[in-house]
Structure 1
Amino acid sequence: MSVRPPSLSQSPAAPDAVDAAARASFHARWLAEVVRRHEEAHGALPDEAELTAARRAPPRFEDRLLARARLLAAREGWDADLARLARRLRVGAAAALVAAFVVGWAAGAAVLGDGGRAVNVVWALGGVLGAHLVGLLVWLGAVAFGLRRGQGGGAWLARAGRAAANLLDHGARAGPAAAALFGLLGRGGGLPWAAGLLNHLLWAAALGGAAGSMLLLFATRRYGFVWETTILPVGLFVELGSALGRLPAALGFPVPDSTALAAAGVPASAVGDGAAGRGWAGWLIGCVLLYGVLPRLLLAGLCAALLRRAVAAVRLDEDQPGHAALRARLLPDSERLGIHDADHSGAPPRAPAAPAGGEGALALALELGDDLDWPPPFGAGDIASAADPRCAPRRLDSREQRQAWLAAVRARPPQRLLVAVDARQTPDRGSLGTLVELAACAGCLRVWTLPGSAAGRLAQWRTALAERDLATADRAVLTDADAARRWLETGA
């Protein structure tokens, strides 16, 4: 499963490939939301191996969040849970469509009756299309109101979606997975379009069922057709029937001519024989299909396109507490400093001889991860000028802090300088070059690797420091906190 959206530099892909990439990207973000919600509710998961693997992704925070979530979800079994929930939601939607078709079939049969009495065409058409028309107007009004207000009823739609998901899947993990799914859709603006797509498909199935039952009954029973009124002018029904029949007639449906339209309104008569009866049957079925099923299918296609666009635009909310807490671990300070590549310019620069003299002791942190405690509870000597606030944390994370501390130690060289580094990170030219510059300003320098000998890249640090004469008698590598404290305080 891909955890990154397709590159913009790739050649245009086929529509099905683009849709597959969008679905994979959304699925990855769904996994990340599940992981975030779980960790916010139950605490952080153990993730050292997953974190190390995620740092190999491009240095974009969301890319690394997705990579970490994918690995954790595979380990915890959430990927299979999400696939099961998605499958059950599809099965539930298919069952709802079948139920809608059956209800529509029954409604179509009900409005026609058993053929023992004439079919009132006004009541028959109103009975099949009336509720559809009211529902369509309500939906259009809700969409217009939501667009004008910049909202889409996401909150109650999300609650309804979670309730439906809980009915379909009673597993302990179904609730959080559904909450993550509908929360992500709501944030991306796709939830109203997903609800609209299902709504229109259900109506299309119901109206299709009604048209199917009417066609079957017209083929197997003889019906008479009338329209009746007491207070309305007769011409109104003739004009209405003629207007509604124009589109079905244009598409090949048989419709009643003006004579049959007028004859159906004659008291105590029912048109049901010959061409007139076939015309009324075609008129009813054509109106149901063209004014009921067709608009719903067109609107379902529109909702599907808007949903696809919303899903492709979904991004994680990186300011959520569960995500924000991972920023320092997924984007270490050493990467934010800006130098990551190896030095290909030849032999690495070596530290010059230590200067004579100097006084006091100083402990600094070079690109240390925020999850490591700093400053230590010892050796708080601070030689920097209080006028420069960049020196206050005794950290060298940014270029500004590095420049400020280099100026401070050049102005007042310390006798003993302890520099703590994050040995979980690969040593790069930026950090090693800074150590070389600091070594030129201190009588003795020690590099303290945190979190100590358990760090995965300690051997790389030792090798790189030795190549730059930073692992000699006066410039040793320390891995123990007690040894670092003892050397900083006593020089032993």
Structure 2
Amino acid sequence: MSPLEARWLAELVRRREERDGPLEDAQVNAAALAADGDLENRILRRAEALGAREGWRDALLRWRGRARLMLLAAAVLALLAGFGAAAGVLGDGSRPVNVVWAVGGLLGVHLASLVLWLLWTALAGRGQGLSAGGLFGRLWLRLVALADRSAAAADLPGALGGLLGRGRAAAWGLGAVSHGLWALLLGGAALGVLVLLATRRYGFVWETTILPADAFVAFAAWLGALPGVLGFPVPDAATVAASGEQAMQAEAGRRAWAGWLLGSLLVYGVLPRVVLAAGCALLWRRATAALELDLSRPGYARLRFRLQPASERLGVSDPAPAGLPAPQRHTAHAVVDGEAVLLGLELDAAEPWPPACDEAGWPAGLHDGGRLDSREQRHAALAALAGRPPQRLLVVVDARQTPDRGSLGFIAELADHAGEARVWAPGGGARAAQWAAGLERIGLSADLLSAAPASVRAWLAGDSGAST
């Protein structure tokens, strides 16, 4: 799917979940959480997996196929309708062509529609959704939606409107479709006029009861100004005046009227629609390229803590070894005498950092190594300790969580880069006994695990009796 369709599917999933309740998504969320990228990228991955499972993705792809097919059919019909309009306006050649009615019949509805579209686009604000765009564009979208009334496709139009409703992307997209169909319709009319003029002999006349001939002379000159610049023939004043008495039969006069009619149709009909269709298509591409999900919506906001948690539990990543590593003190001889470092390992994001100490506060000179929640932070902490091993290292853990071998092994690696290392769980916890057993397995003392803050502070300060 294109980026627009991926966001469209995400919007569909959001609307369904807000209306009918959350879907079963444990495995889908786990896969999305493991994916790279920001929150929006994870939401898109989740939506694609859920959409494939629920049948919404296939419904969207069917919608896309029907939209293209109907657009092609509409293009063919527009060409044929334009050719038929030209035949209706010019007739079979048995009667002279009234030039005023011919121009009005070929350009009147188009010009009125164009003026209304320009006024609507200029006056309407943002947030138009699928109610924006030209008449042909909205009609095409409505027919596509009516072609599939299945349950899986029922929310597709609403989801698309919700996605595009914050800007003018919908107006530009539907405008491009509408102007494109108008261009084909007028192009078919121009082709029809050209074919009929080439195969039949037409006379041209203007008729009036109350208007003077000068009015038609001025009208012909004004309308033929731009086509004349582009090389189309324009009838002179004498030809226009003579056409009011009877149908113009002179060869030069008929050619001038034919060129004037065809040039007006191309310059005032086909050309503006082609330019507007191209401009709307360019603006549509830019608008959709910058399109993002509105992550403030409730359906997306509730996914933030599930797909982008504040801290990441690394868990088990490989088979259990025969035994856990123990600190070897490879760098104990290089420790900085008296220096102490405080680190937090996979703590709850809601807990304050650093943890509260006694009234005297933490010892002066204590280096705060911060929380370690990600692999990158763990690697950085090990590198820092290897470059400057401290005399004492205190690792703060959450004894309400079960100690896994990954955490215990990492604590052993940290202890390997310090003269002395202890683990502290402020306030204890239901699994303090499991932590004590795990520390014993890796050869570390658990004497400070459930100690009071004063004892922990004394140990960090170098009081030899603090841990007894």
TM-score in same-fold range (> 0.5): yes
Q: Secondary structure at the match of 2:402?
A: strand
Alignment of 1:404-443 (within 5 A): 405-407=355-357, 429=378, 436-438=394-396
Q: Give the deviation of 1:316 after TM superposition.
A: 0.6
- For 1:298 and 1:220, how far apart are their aligned partners in 2? 31
**1:402 aligned onto 2:377:** no
> What is the aligned counterpart of 2:28 among 30, 50, 65?
50
Distance (whole Å) between structure 1 residues aligned to residue 91 and residue 40 of structure 2: 61
Deviations 1:294-327 (A, max 9, x none): 1111111111111112111211111111111111
Q: Who is 1:153 aligned against?
A: 128
Q: Name the structure 2 match of 1:305.
A: 282
2:266 to 264, 289, 297: 289
Q: Could you say which residue in structure 1 is the equivalent of 2:50?
A: 72
Deviations 1:277-307 (A, max 9, x none): 1221121111111110111111111111111
Partner Cα distance (1:279, 1:140) in 2: 32
Quick check: 2:39–2:304 contact (8 Å CA) kept in 1? yes
Q: Which has the larger radius of gyration?
A: 2
Residues 244-276 of structure 1 deviation map (CA, whole Å, 9 limit, x = unaligned): 22332333333333332221112xx11134121
The answer to whether structure 1 residue 144 and structure 2 residue 122 are counterparts is yes
Structure 1 pair 428–123 and aligned structure 2 pair: CA distance change class (3 A): same
Alignment correspondent of 1:40: 18
Residues 216 and 427 (structure 1), Cα distance of their counterparts in 2 relative to 1, 3 Å cut: closer
Once the two structures are superposed, the pairs formed by residues 171-320 of structure 1 within 5 Å of their partners are 171-266=150-245, 269-320=246-297
Query: 2:264 & 2:376 partners in 1: Cα distance?
Result: 74
Shift of 1:165: 3.3
Structure 2 letter corresponding to 1:122: V
Contact 2:402/2:435 (<8 A) preserved: no
Task: Choose from 170, 176, 189 the match for 2:149.
Answer: 170
For 1:60, the equivalent position in structure 2 comes to 38
CA–CA distance in structure 2, aligned partners of residues 282 and 474 of structure 1:
94
Q: State the one-letter code of the partner of 1:302.
A: G
Q: What displacement does 1:113 show?
A: 1.6
1:464 counterpart = 2:398? no
- 1:59–1:331 Cα contact (<8 Å) kept: no
Output one character per residue of 1:84-143: Cα deviation in whole Å (capped at 9) or x when no partner: 211211222222222222222222111112222111101110111111111111111111
Q: 1:52 to 1:427 in 2, by over 3 A?
A: farther
Residue type at the aligned position of 2:357: A
Structure 2 portions without partners, runs of 5+: 314-327, 333-343, 363-370, 386-392, 416-421, 424-431, 440-449, 451-468
Q: Distance in 2 between matches of 1:82 and 1:108?
A: 39
Deviation at 1:52, TM superposition (A): 2.9
AA matched with 1:215: L
Residues 8-23 of structure 1: pairs in structure 2 closer than 5 A: none
Residue from 456, 475, 485 that aligns with 2:436: 475
Query: How far apart are 1:422 and its partner, in Å?
Result: 13
| Kept after mapping to 1: 8 A contact 2:130/2:161 | no
Name the structure 1 match of 2:401: 448
Q: Distance in 2 between matches of 1:235 and 1:292?
A: 26
Task: Work out the CA distance in 1 between the residues paired with 2:199 and 2:94.
Answer: 13
Task: Tell me the secondary structure at the aligned position of residue 23 of structure 2.
Answer: coil
Mapped contact 1:367–1:431 kept (Cα < 8 A): no
How big is the alpha-carbon RMSD for the aligned residues of Structure 1 and Structure 2?
Answer: 3.8
Q: Mean alpha-carbon deviation: is it higher for 61-70 or for 225-234?
A: 61-70
Q: How many residues align?
A: 379
Deviates more, 1:303-312 or 1:171-180: 171-180
Q: What are the Cα deviations for residues 444-481 of structure 1, in whole angstroms up to 9, with x where unaligned?
A: x846239xxxxxxx542343345557699762469xxx
1:437/1:349 Cα in 2 relative to 1: closer, same or farther (>3 Å)? farther
Equivalent residues of 1:264, 1:270 under 8 A apart: yes
**1:119 lines up with 2:135 in the alignment:** no
Inter-partner Cα distance in structure 1 for 2:433 and 2:410:
12
Q: After superposition, what is the alpha-carbon deviation per residue over 1:2-59, rounded to whole angstroms, capped at 9, x for unaligned?
A: xxxxxxxxxxxxxxxxxxxxxx332221222122222223332333333233234456
| 2:357 counterpart SS class | helix
Q: Structure 1 stretches of 5 or more lacking a match? A: 2-23, 337-345, 351-363, 370-394, 413-420, 440-444, 451-457, 479-487
Identify if the C-alpha distance between structure 1 residues 26 and 120 changes in structure 2 by more than 3 Å, giving closer, same or farther.
same
SS of the aligned residue for 2:311 comes to helix
| TM-score in terms of structure 2 length | 0.70
Closer, same or farther: CA 199–155 of 1 in aligned 2, 3 Å: closer
Residues 252 and 152 (structure 1), Cα distance of their counterparts in 2 relative to 1, 3 Å cut: farther
- The equivalent of 1:355 in structure 2 is none
Alpha-carbon distance change, 144 to 347 in structure 1, aligned in 2, over 3 angstroms: farther
Structure 1 residue aligned with 2:366: none
The TM-score with structure 1 as length reference comes to: 0.67
Distance 2:330 2:123 in 1: 66
Q: Is 1:95 aligned with 2:73?
A: yes
Change (3 A) 1:460 1:349: farther
Q: Equivalent residue of 1:175, what SS?
A: coil
Distance 1:196 1:475 in 2: 70
Structure 2 Cα separation of the partners of residues 250 and 294 of structure 1? 14
C-alpha distance in structure 1 between counterparts of 2:39 and 2:150, whole Å:
32
Instruction: Tell whether the 8 Å contact from 2:56 to 2:153 is kept in structure 1 after alignment.
Output: no
Q: Does the residue aligned with 1:32 lie in a helix, a strand or coil?
A: helix
Is the CA contact 1:366–1:431 (under 8 Å) kept in the aligned structure 2?
no
Percent of aligned pairs with the same residue? 45
Structure 1 Cα separation of the partners of residues 104 and 434 of structure 2: 97
Question: CA contact under 8 A between 1:165 and 1:178: conserved in structure 2?
Answer: no
> What is the CA distance between 1:349 and its match in structure 2?
11
C-alpha change, 1:238 and 1:171, in structure 2 (3 Å) is same
Change (3 A) 1:165 1:477: farther
Does structure 1 residue 110 correspond to structure 2 residue 88? yes
C-alpha displacement of 1:365: 11
